[in-house]
Structure 1
Amino acid sequence: MTFKLKSLPFAVACALASGALAGSAPAFAQTTEAAGGSTPQRVVVTGSLISRANTETPTPVQVLTSADIQKSGKTSVAELLTDLAANGAGTLGTGFAGAFANGASGISLRGLTVGATLVLIDGHRMAGYPLSDDAQRQFVDVSSIPFDAIESIEVLKSGASSLYGSDAIAGVINIKLKKNLTGTRLAAEYGDTQHGGGKTKRASISSGIGDIDTDGYNAFFTIETRKQGSIKVAERDNFDYANRDWRARGGNNLTLGVPTNLNSFLTPTNTPFLYNPSGTGGVDNPANFVFLDPSKCNYNAYRAGQCAVRDTFGFIQPETENVNLLVGMTKKLNDNWELALKASMFQRESTNNRGATPAAYSPTSFNGVTTLNNGVLVTRVNNIPSTLFAPGARVGAGVTNPFPNNARLYGYIPDIDPNLTTNNKSTTTRISADLTGSAMGWDVQAAAGMTKVKVDANYSGYINRRNLYNAINNGSWNVLGGNSPTLVDAVSPRFSNTLESTLNYIDLVGSREILPSFGAGPLAFAAGYHWHKREQNAPASSLTAIGAVANTSAFTIGDETNQAIFAELRATPIKNVEVSLSSRYDHYDTYGNSFTPAANFKWTPVQNFGIRGTFARGFRAPNPAEVGNAGSFFTFNAINDPILCANGSRTTAGNVPSACGFAPPYVQTTNPDLQPEKSKSYTLGLIYEPMRGLNMTLDYYKIKINNLVVTQAGNDPNFVPTWVRGPAAPIDVATGNGTTTTVATPSVGPILYGLSPYINAGGTETHGIEADVRYRWRLANDGGTISAALSAAHTFGYENIIGNERIQLAGTQGPSSVGGATGNPKDRAQFTLGYNRGPLDVTATVNYTSGFSTIDPALGETDCATTGEHVGGRAYFSGLVQPAWYCTVPSFTTTNLNLQYKLTPNLTLRAAVLNLFDRQAPIDVATYGNAGAGTSYNASLHQPGAVGRFYSLGLTYAF
C-alpha cells in the first residue's frame, strides 16, 4: 500500500492524541542567563551559521550529550549511532564481513546510503575512509571516534547542502569533540558476552589545566584504549542464523564438507580425496574414490555427511583494537579573540574476512585470474596446470593417481589461513585551528585543518594457483599438510597494501545583525567561504595488480578541489515568525558547478506551540571512485548462465550445474562524464510543550534524489551484460538422471566477468514522519527524577524511479543493488526510561526495528519463494520450495540497561547489560549485508541479536 501525503494530518492527530512522540532535546529550551548578567548565551546549532539564544530551530536537530552517550551502555560510537531511529537501509555495520570497506562503519540517514549523510567533526569536513562503501561511496568511519573525546553529537535531519555542500542530502551528523577540560578523570571497563567471544576492555585518562575565563587558557588531553574480541561463527552455530544445516527448516544442508545434489555430491571435506570422474557409476560407486587419510574419512562416512568441516574461521564480530589520543588548547587573545588548537590520532586495528569458504583445490580446470591494474583488466588464462591428474601422475608428495583414468583432487588446502583475511590498521589524524572573535561589527569564525586516514592492510588466505599446481605436479607439495614455510609462502603469499585518503580545508564565516529592527526583530546575515582538497590514493596491491592472486579489493586513485561561497539571512518579519534563507555556490574541478538554495520558517502562535518547515536543494558530487582512476569487482544477485544453464536446471542433460544459480562477478568501471546527484527535500513539523517538562516534536519529511550515480547492472532495465568468458575446458556436466555428472567440454567456457560502468540513472524518493518527545518528572518529597524519551521514525514510501516506473521498496529487502547492506524496514524507534536520585542513575533503552519482506522489487523479484537464492544468492532452498515464513524478516527488539552509582563524590561505578533479554537475530534469507557466507541474519540491523546478551562493569574516578 502506498501512503499519500493527505495521511499526514491524520497521523499527526493520532500521534498527539496518544502522546506517542519522542525526543532527545527539549522542544522549547529556555535561554541561559550569562553569569552576573541578563544577556542570554548564544550558540551556533548545526544547520545554521548564525548564533541564536534558543535551540528550537526550524530544522529538526537531535542532540546527544556526553551524558546521553555514557548512559547508553554502548562501548563505541558506531554502535550508538546505528541505533538512531533515523538510521536506515544502506548502513555499513562493522559486522558486515563482505563489505569492500569491512571493519569500518558508516551511517545512512533515511536509508539513502552512507554517501548521502555528511559527517562533520567540530563542524568541519573530515577525510573519508580510503576504502569506499561498495567501492563507490565516500564516508567517515565513525567506529574510529572514541567516546571520551566527544562533547556532543548533533544530528541534523534535513537537507543542508545550502550551508555544507556535497553529501548533505539526507542530513548531517556533527560530532563535537571536547573543547576544554579541567581536572583528571580515570576510567576502566570490562565486558563479556554470555555465549562466548567478544570480550571487551576499555580504559581512558583525561586531564586538563587552566580556566578560560580566569586564566585565559585551557589545555587538555584524553587517551582511550579499547580492545574488542572476535566472535566466530562457530561460537553461534547452535543458533539458526549461524547454522548451515537447513534440513530441519525444509531446506538444504549447506554444511561444509557435506555432499549434496547442489555440489553434485563432490565437495572438499575434512581430508583430501581423489575422484575418478570417468569410472563406472560415478559418485555412487565407492571404487571411484580414494581418501588420502582414511582415518579421518572414508566413502560411507563421506556420503553420510560425517566428514563435515565446522566453520571455525568466519566472523560474527571482528576483533578490533583502538588507541586514541586527543590534545587541545584554547587561548584567549586580545579584544575577545580566541584561538583553539586540536590534534588527534585515532587508530583502529581490526581483523576481518570476506565471508568466503576456505580455499580448496579447484574441482575443475582453473581458467586463470582476472583482476584490475589501475583501470586495465589483467587476465591470466591457460597458464595454470590442469587439475586433472593422469594415471600414475604425482598428486603431491608421496601420492600418485591410482586410477586408470584422469583423476581429480578435492580437499581444503592445508597450512594456510582458512579464509580470505584482511588485517586493517586504520590511523586517522587531524590537526585543526579555529579562530573566533569580532571585527568591525562582524562575528568571525576562521578555521583550517589537515585530516588524513591511512589504512595499512595485510592480506592472507589467498592462493597463487599457478605455484600451487606446479608444486603438486612436481611432488613438493604435501596435500595432507606439513609443508615448509617457504613453500607455503609461495603457494599462499601474504601481501600488504597502504591506502590513504586526505582532506585539507579552510573555512571562513562572518555574521552580524545588518538591521537592528526588521519587522518584529533584527535582520541577521552570515556569509562564508569554503575550500578543500581531497586526495584518495588507494592502489591495488602488488599481487592483485599482476593477477597473481584473486583478490577482488577495490582501488581508487584521484583527487578533487572544491571552492564554495555561501550565505544565510534570518529575519522575524512579523511577531513570532522566524524565516531563514540560505544558498551556496560550489565549484568542483571534476565536473563544474552546483547552486543549492534553501528556505525555512518557524511560527510560534502561542508560547508552547510552534510550526516549522524547510525546503532545500542538495547534491552529491561524483567522487574519485566514480570519475577517477578506479575499479572493483562486485556481485549482488544470482543468475543462470544464458548458455550453460539456459533453463535454470542443474539436472538437465548437458547443463553445467555450477553455472546454475551462481552470482557472476562484474567489473565496475568509472565514467568521467558523470554529473552530480541532485535532490529536493522538504520538512514540515510541529513543536509542542503541553505542560512543563513534556516536549514534543513531529516532522514530516520528503526527499527526492535524481541523477543517481549507480552501476549499470541491476539499475538499467535495458542493460544486457557482455559476458567475458574463459576458454572451454573439461567440467562437470549433468547427465540427466538427476544425481550424477560426467566430465565434458561444453561449447563455451565459464563466465569470468561482465563490465558494468557507472551511469546517471533514475532516482529515489522517500517520505515519512519522525517523532521526538522528552518528559521529565521530578517526584515529590525528593523522590528523585524520572525521565522518558522516545524517538520514532515511520517510512510512508521509499521508491526507486527508473524512467516512468516507480518501484516501492519501503518494507522490503531492497534496494540490494545500491546500498552497502539491505533491509528497508518501515519503522524504527528508540525508547529511553531513566531514574535518578542522589548517587543512583538507572537508564533502560529499548530499540525497535519492524519486520520487512525478503523480496527486492528493484531486482524484478515478485515471488518470495525464491528470495533466498535470487535476492540473497544463497542456496538455502535451491531446488526446493522456500517456506512462506521466510518471505518476511520478523521485527526485532532489544533492551539495554545501564546503571551508574556514585560510591563517593569522586568514584562512580557503572554496570550495563546490552540485549538484556537475549533476543536472537531473526532469519533473513535474502540479506546481502550479513557476516560470513554461512550466516543468515542482517548484520546492519540485527547485529545485537548475533552478539547476544553482553555484560559490562566499569569504574570512573575524577579529581
Structure 2
Amino acid sequence: MPIASGAGQNPGIGQNVPESVGSNLGGASSINLRGLGSDATITLLNGHRLAFNTAVQSIDISAIPLAAVERMEIVTDGASALYGSDAIAGVANIILRKDYRGLTTRAYWGASTDGGNVQQNYSVTGGTTWDSGGFTVAYDYAHSTPILANQRDYAATRAPGLTLYPGFDRHNVLLSGHQEIMSGLTFSIDSLYGERKTDRAFASSTAGDYRVQGLRRKTNTRTISVAPGMNFEAGGGWEASFSGVYAEDRTLIRSDSYSSGIVSSAELCYCNKAFNLEGIVRGSLFDLGAGPVKAAIGGGYRKNFLHSYNRLVNNGQSIEASQDNRYGFLEVNAPIVRSENPDTLVQSLIFSGAVRYEDYPGIGDVATPKLGALLATGYGLTFKFSWGKSFKAPTLYQLYSVRGVSALDIEVFGGSGFPAGTVGLYSGGGNPDLKPERSENWTASAIFEPAFSPNSKVEFSYYSIRYRDRIVTPVTYITQALSNPIYADLISFNPTSDQINATLDGALFFNDASGEWDPARVGAIINSQYTNAARQKIDGFDISLSHRIEFDQMGNISLWATGSYIKSRQRLSALQPETELAGSLFFPPHLRGVAGFTWEKGPFKLTPVVNYIGGVKDRRATVTYDVGSMTTFDLTARLKIDSESPIFRGLDISLSAQNVFNDKPSLIATTSVSQSPYDSANYSPWGRYISFSISKSW
C-alpha cells in the first residue's frame, strides 16, 4: 500500500537513519502508516493488542504466521476515540481465519539474482469445525540468508563488510478457537508463540572485516500472546463481550565489538510485557425510521512493562518500569435518512460519534472525541467525513531511560573562540515529566461507483493531521549545537558550578574529551533530553481506481491503481524554523503509487504490477542533493487446480518476479563504511527477486 512506509522498526533500516525515523533492534517488522512512525500506528491481532517490541511502541507482525491470516483491515485516520493511545496515523487489524476446515501445506523458495536473500518458508495450517465451535492451528518456519554489501555493486566499495539486510531463522505457532458453552454464551481464544534469530555485521574500517575493526550483532526474539474472551448474546439485539490479553516480547541483543584485537561484549535485553482486560456492551437503542441507532459502551485496564538491562555487565543503564492506564469509551452510530427509491438524491445519511477517556497515573488524563458522517446519493456518489483527536502516550524508554552526560571537546559541538582545552557537556536520555503527544485529524472522501459502469470504482480522500507535543531529542545535529542559533534556547553558556552539578546529578558520565575531567573547563551545557517539543503538519491525499472487464472467451481482467501524496513539515522548538519532512532523505517521498491488472481465465491468473517510489532530497549539508526515485515492475503467474484427482485437487502453484528490470537505489553521502550508502528507509537492496511457491489442500 502506498500509504505504508518502510521506516519505523524494520529489518532493513541502516545505521545512518535517525532514531526518530526508524531502527532495527531485533529484526522485527512493523506497520508504519503515513511515515509517522510505527509507534504512531496501532496494530491489532483479531482486535486485541500485543506486547510492544524492543524500546519503541511498535508491534512485530513477523511473529504472526501468514498462512493463518484471512485479511487485514486498515483505518487511515486518527482513531484514538475508538482504539486508544497510538492511533495517530491509523489502525491495522490483522484478522485470522475462522471456521477453517481441512489441512493445507505450503512450500516457498525465493532469492535475489544479485546474490543473498535466499528465502525458504514452510507452513502447515489445519482446522476443523463442529456444531458448537471450531479451531485453527498454524505452524510456520522461515529461513533467509543476509544481503551483504559485497553482493551489490553500489555498496561493495562504499560499505565493505556491511550487512545491508539481515538474514533470519523464524518459527511461529498460532492457535485460534471458539466454543459455545451454552446457548448465547461463547468462549474464544487466540494464542501465539514465535521465535526469531538474526545476525548482522558492521565493519568500521575499509578492511571490510568486522573482526579487525567493527561490530557483530546477534538477536534472539521470543513472542508470546494469549487472548481469551467470552461473548454473551443477551437478546433483543444486545450482546456483551469480555476479553483479556497477556503478551510478552523479549528481544536479546548480543553485540561483540572488535578493536585492535580486543573484544568487548554486551548482551542487552528488551523485555516487554502487556496485560489487558476489557468489557464491551453493544446493542440497538431505538429506531429513528432510517434504521436502528446502535451504541457500544465499554472500558478496561491495561498495563505495559519494560525491563531493559545488560545481562553481562551491570553498567547502571537498566530500566525496570511499568505504565498502567484505565479507560472508558462510548460509540454511537445513527442512521438519519434511508431511501429505497433510486431517483432520490439522498439515499442514506449516517452520523457516528465516539468519545474515549484514558487516565495514565503520573502522566495525565486524555479525552478524545471523534465525529463522522456518511452520505450516499442516488448518482453513485458517496461522501465520507471524519474529524477527531488522537494521542500517544510516551514510551517507557522515553520516560525512564537513564540520563547520560558526555564531555566532549567544545569543537565537536561547533564551538569556536573558546580557550584551548574547553569542553562541552551533552545531556540526553529519559524524562519522567513527559506528557502524551496529541493530534487533531480530519479526513474527507468521495467514492464514485457509476451506474453506467457497475464494475468501476474511484475513491479520493484528503486528510490533514496537526500533531503537537511530539517527543524528540531537540538537537538534531550535535556538530551544529553551538554554531547554529536555532539551538540557542537549549544551551547554557559559561555555566555555574551549581548548573554543572545539577546536570551531572544522577546521570551516567562519560569523559570523551581530550585530557582529564575538570569542571572548570566546561564552557557550555547542551540540553537534549527527550521533551515534548515538536509540532508537525501533515497533509495529503489518496486516490484509488478499479475496473473489471468480463470477456466471454478470453476470461476477465481486473485493473487497479492507487497512489498517495503527502506533504509534512516540522518545528522542533520555538527558535527553530519549520522544516520539510516528506520529500527529505529518510522521510516518506511526496509521491508513491502502484498500478496493475490481473488477467484471469479458468484456473490461471497473470498479474503484472508497476510500483513507483518518488525521489527525495538530501538536506543534511549546506548543498541539497537529489536522490533518485525507484520504479519496479513485478510479474506473478498463478495456477490454482480444482481437479477430481486426489493428487492435483487443491493444488496452488505460483511463480513471481519482483523488480524484473533490477532497478537499484540511488547513492547518498556517508561518513562511515558502517552506514548504508542509500536511503534504507525508503528503498530496498533486494534487487531482482524470483520466487516459487506450491501449496496443497488435503
TM-score band w.r.t. shorter chain: 0.7 to 0.9
Cα RMSD of the aligned pairs, angstroms, is 3.5
Deviations 1:8-55 (A, max 9, x none): xxxxxxxxxxxxxxxxxxxxxxxxxxxxxxxxxxxxxxxxxxxxxxxx
Q: CA deviation at 1:777?
A: 2.0
Deviation at 1:504, TM superposition (A): 1.2
1:372-395 deviation per Cα after TM superposition (whole angstroms, max 9, x unaligned): xxxxxxxxxxxxxxxxxxxxxxxx
Checking the alignment, whether the CA contact within 8 Å between 2:598 and 2:606 is kept in structure 1 is yes
Partner of 2:292: 522
Give the aligned partner of residue 145 of structure 1. Answer: 64
Q: Secondary structure at the match of 2:62?
A: helix
- CA offsets per residue over residues 129-184 of structure 1, 9 Å max, x none? 1x22xxxx421122333311211111110110001111001101111222332111
CA, structure 1 residues 184+907, in 2 after alignment: closer, same or farther (shift >3 Å)?
same
Pair 571,766 (structure 1): closer, same or farther in 2 beyond 3 Å: same
Alignment-derived partner of residue 192 in structure 1? 111
- Partner of residue 434, structure 1: 229
Secondary structure at the aligned position of 1:123 is classed as coil
Conserved? CA contact 2:14–2:675, under 8 Å? no
Aligned partner (choices 682, 686, 694) of residue 947 of structure 1:
686
Query: How far apart in 2 are the matches of 1:665 and 1:836?
Result: 66
| Amino acid in the other structure paired with 1:499 | Y
Which of the residues 846, 849, 852 maps onto 2:613? 849
Residue 315 of structure 1 aligns with which residue?
163
Within 5 A, what are the aligned runs for 1:455-466? Answer: 455-462=251-258
| Cα separation, 2, equivalents of 1:197 and 1:444 | 51
1:829 aligned to which of 586, 593, 600: 593
Rounded to whole Å, the distance in 1 between the matches of 2:363 and 2:574 is 24
- Residue 634 of structure 2 corresponds to 896
Residues 1:217 and 1:413: Cα distance change in structure 2 (over 3 Å): closer
2:87 counterpart (168, 176, 189): 168
Say whether 1:938 aligns with 2:679: yes
| Aligned residue in 2 for 1:674 | 434
Residues 600/633 of structure 1: CA separation in 2 closer, same or farther (3 Å cut): farther
Larger deviation: 343-352 or 623-632? 623-632
Structure 2 letter corresponding to 1:849: I
Q: 1:832 to 1:624 in 2, by over 3 A?
A: same
Equivalent residue letter for 1:243: T
What is the deviation of 1:802? 3.9
> Does residue 913 of the first structure (1) align with residue 657 of the second (2)?
yes
Mapped to 2, the partners of 1:95 and 1:629 lie a distance apart of 25
> What's 2:697 paired with?
958
Q: Is 2:503 the partner of 1:586?
A: no
**What does 1:401-480 correspond to in 2, within 5 Å?**
416=211, 419-441=214-236, 442-462=238-258
Q: Give 1:901's aligned amino acid.
A: L
CA separation in 1, counterparts of 2:280 and 2:172? 30
Does the residue aligned with 1:780 lie in a helix, a strand or coil?
coil
The CA deviation at 1:328 is: 2.2
The higher-RCO structure (CA 8 Å, 6+ apart) is 1
* Alignment partner of 1:156 is 2:75: yes
Give the residue type in structure 2 aligned to 1:888.
D
Q: Identify the residue that residue 574 of structure 2 maps to in structure 1.
A: 803
Quote the Cα distance in structure 2 between the aligned partners of 1:221 and 1:180. Answer: 11
Structure 1's 642 and 228: CA in aligned 2 closer, same or farther, altered over 3 A? Answer: closer
Q: 1:330 deviation in Å? A: 1.6
Of the candidates 77, 86, 106, which is equivalent to residue 30 of structure 2? Answer: 106
Give 1:185 deviation, angstroms: 0.5
Residues 940/615 of structure 1: CA separation in 2 closer, same or farther (3 Å cut):
same
Q: What amino acid is aligned across from residue 914 of structure 1 in structure 2?
A: Q
Deviating more after overlay: 497-506 vs 614-623: 497-506
CA contact (8 A) 2:355 2:367 kept: yes
Confirm or deny that 1:839 pairs with 2:594. no
1:117 to 41, 44, 52: 41
Q: Give the residue type in structure 2 aligned to 1:843.
A: T
Is 2:337 the partner of 1:574? yes
The match for 1:711 among 473, 481, 499 is 473
Whether 1:561 aligns to 2:409 is no
- 8 A contact 1:713–1:721 mirrored in 2: no
Q: Is the 8 A contact 1:96 1:102 kept in 2?
A: no
> How many percent of aligned residue pairs carry the same amino acid?
21
2:9 maps to what in 1? 92
- What code does the residue aligned with 2:8 have? T
Seen in structure 2, the aligned counterparts of structure 1 residues 555 and 942 have a Cα distance that, compared at 3 Å, is farther
Larger Rg: 1
After TM superposition, the structure 1 = structure 2 runs for residues 200-215 of structure 1, keeping only pairs within 5 Å, are 200-211=119-130, 215=131
The equivalent position to 2:274 in structure 1, one of 470, 485, 503, is 503
Q: Displacement of 1:102 after TM fit?
A: 4.7
After TM superposition, list the pairs within 5 Å mapping 1:726-737 onto structure 2: 726=512, 728-729=514-515
SS in 2 for 1:708: strand
Distance 2:120 2:588 in 1: 33
Distance 1:824 1:209, change over 3 A: closer
Q: Which letter maps to 2:239?
A: D
Partner of 1:883: none
Q: CA deviation at 1:326?
A: 0.8
1:229 paired residue number:
145
CA distance in 1, matches of 2:591, 2:665: 17
Q: Does 1:537 align with 2:307?
A: yes
Q: Which residue of 2 aligns with 1:243?
A: 157
**Cα distance, 1:906–1:647 mapped onto 2, change above 3 Å:** farther
Is the deviation greater in 606-615 or in 105-114? Answer: 105-114
Determine the C-alpha separation between the residues in 1 that align with 2:551 and 2:590.
37
Matched, 1:324 2:172: yes
C-alpha contact 1:704 1:766 (8 A) present in aligned 2: yes
Q: Deviations for 1:559-594, whole angstroms, at most 9, x for unmatched residues?
A: 111110001111122341100010000011231210
State the TM-score, normalizing by the size of structure 1. 0.63
Question: Take 2:378 and 2:636, find their aligned partners in 1: how far apart are those partners?
Answer: 38
Which deviations, in whole Å up to 9, do the C-alpha atoms of 1:271-322 show, x marking residues without a partner? xxxxxxxxxxxxxxxxxxxxxxxxxxxxxxxxxxxxxxxx2x3101101111
C-alpha distance in structure 1 between counterparts of 2:673 and 2:190, whole Å:
39
Question: In 1, are the aligned partners of 2:26 and 2:251 still within 8 Å (CA)?
Answer: no
Residue type matched to 1:836 in 2?
Answer: E
Query: 2:24 & 2:536 partners in 1: Cα distance?
Result: 23
Alpha-carbon separation, structure 2, partners of 1:110 and 1:556: 31
**Displacement of 1:647:** 9.2
Q: Distance in 2 between matches of 1:889 and 1:688?
A: 36
1:685 counterpart residue number: 445
Q: Does the residue aligned with 1:352 lie in a helix, a strand or coil? A: strand
**Contact conserved, 1:669 with 1:755, CA < 8 A, in 2?**
no
Q: Aligned equivalents of 2:652 and 2:524: distance in 1?
A: 60
Q: Please state whether the residue corresponding to 1:234 is helix, strand or coil.
A: helix
**Per-residue deviation at 1:771?**
1.2
Q: Distance in 2 between matches of 1:590 and 1:542?
A: 32
Q: How far apart, CA to CA, are the structure 2 residues paired with 1:797 and 1:754?
A: 28
The amino acid of 1:708's aligned partner reads R
Q: Is the 8 A contact 1:900 1:908 kept in 2?
A: yes
Distance 1:752 1:146 in 2: 53
Deviations 1:425-476 (A, max 9, x none): 111111111222311532222211111101122222355xxxx8xxxxxxxx
CA distance in structure 1 between the aligned counterparts of 2:546 and 2:448, rounded to whole angstroms: 11
User: Out of 696, 699, 703, which is 2:458 matched to?
Assistant: 696
Gaps of 5+ in 1: 1-83, 245-254, 256-310, 361-410, 469-478, 480-490, 547-553, 649-653, 731-746, 815-821, 865-886
The residue number in structure 1 matching 2:342 is none
1:544 Cα deviation from its structure 2 partner: 6.8
Instruction: Judging by fraction of residues, say which structure has more helix.
Output: 1
Contact 1:667 1:754 (C-alpha < 8 Å) held by counterparts: yes
1:863 aligned to 609, 623, 627, which one? 623
The 3 A distance-change label for structure 1 pair 574 and 458 is same
What is the rounded CA distance, in whole Å, between the counterparts of 2:675 and 2:470 in structure 1?
32
Deviation of 1:750 (Å): 12
Matches of 1:619 and 1:318 in 2, distance apart? Answer: 33
Equivalent-residue separation in structure 2 for 1:433 and 1:144 (angstroms): 19
| TM-score, normalised by the number of residues in structure 2 | 0.85
Query: For 1:888, what is the secondary structure of its paired residue?
Result: strand
Q: Runs (4+) of structure 1 moved beyond 6 Å?
A: 411-414, 721-724, 747-753
For 1:181, the equivalent position in structure 2 comes to: 100
